[in-house]
Amino acid sequence: MYQERGSRLAGAVVWTNVPDGARPGPVLPDGCMDLMWSAGRLLVAGPDTRAHVPDGPAVPFTGVRFPPGTAPALLGVPAHELRDRRVDLADLWPAPVVRRLRDRIAAAPGTAAALEEVALERAAGTDPPDPLLREMAEALGAGRPVAATADGLGLGARQLHRRSLAAFGYGPKTLARVLRLQRALALARAGVPFAQTAARAGFADQAHLARDVRQLTGMPLRELLGGGQRAEEVDAVAVGVVDHGVAHPPEGVPGLEFAVVSGGHEVVVDGVDVGR
């Protein structure tokens, strides 16, 4: 079972994930990096560009998830070097330092609190995060175009790309795409219909949303949500539900023209035959 709470470290989240017999879900791209403890090891999860599916036997994990752009300064390594990777902290920090931290966490009565304390101590000895990086993440997270974000920050395109790689692990276009995915997931999980989710999150249309979700997570949006919204999807086009030969458009999708032919056995959407 997964649980999380806000951290005393500004913007961070402390989480635990204890196996409960259910199939573990994928870890989705979110622009963040994590310091983790599991089976006596300290690990770092780099920024993901695709869904990460844990392999091997299910074991408990505890972690501190740092807000986008803040972990590289704390860890002392550029984010792009850890992109789509899980590495031992001893690969990044001196082995004696990591060994002392491992012993300390293993002896602590509460693993989550001990790991959070390590993050707090590291942050106290590090310069505060560059406010420009926070502004970049906030602008792109709000759906502002990359070019407008660069202009607003007083950076050229190459400068923005270089800063983004070091802080977030990928360029600003990929960062914007990942943050847009997170906006869409938040809306969809709140019950907003998919078409409205696409529009409000900044996608061109619902088909664009469906493609991006599949590319970044490896599964359709409805599956990510546990089947919470009903719609028939064919080639990433929402076509509604056919009931007794009548095609009903999905809620909140204006402008789609439906036609049922051959006694209700075929559905045509905007002139496109989407099959039997």
Quickly name the fold that domain 131-224 has: Arc Repressor Mutant, subunit A (1.10.10)
Res 15: pLDDT: 96
Res 241: pLDDT: 38
H helix intervals, 40-84: 71-75
Which one, of 102, 128, 126, lies nearest residue 115 by Cα? 102
pTM for this predicted structure: 0.78
The two beta strands, 246-248 and 258-261, are unpaired
CA 264, CA 271: separation in Å to the nearest integer?
Answer: 16
Q: What pLDDT digit, counting tens, does each position of 144-179 carry? A: 999 999 999 999 999 999 999 999 999 999 999 999
- DSSP-derived letter for residue 258 is E
Which one, of 184, 145, 211, lies nearest residue 30 by Cα? 184
DSSP helix/strand/coil, 6: strand
CA 8, CA 10: separation in Å to the nearest integer?
Answer: 6
CA distances from 196 to 40, 146, 184 (A): 45, 23, 10
Place of tokens 């051959």: 262
CA distances from 145 to 141, 177, 272 (A): 10, 11, 32
Place of tokens 């505060």: 128
Q: What pLDDT digit, counting tens, does each position of 96-132 carry? A: 999 999 999 999 999 999 999 999 999 999 988 889 9
CA 182, CA 262: separation in Å to the nearest integer?
Answer: 41
- For the chain, residues classed under CATH 1.10.10.60 are 131-224
Give, to the nearest 10 degrees, the angle between helix 157-168 and helix 146-153: 100
193-211 burial, b at 16+ Cβ within 10 Å, e below that, comes to bbbebbbebbbeebeebbe
| Amino acid of residue 234 | V
**Residue 255 reports pLDDT greater than 50:** no
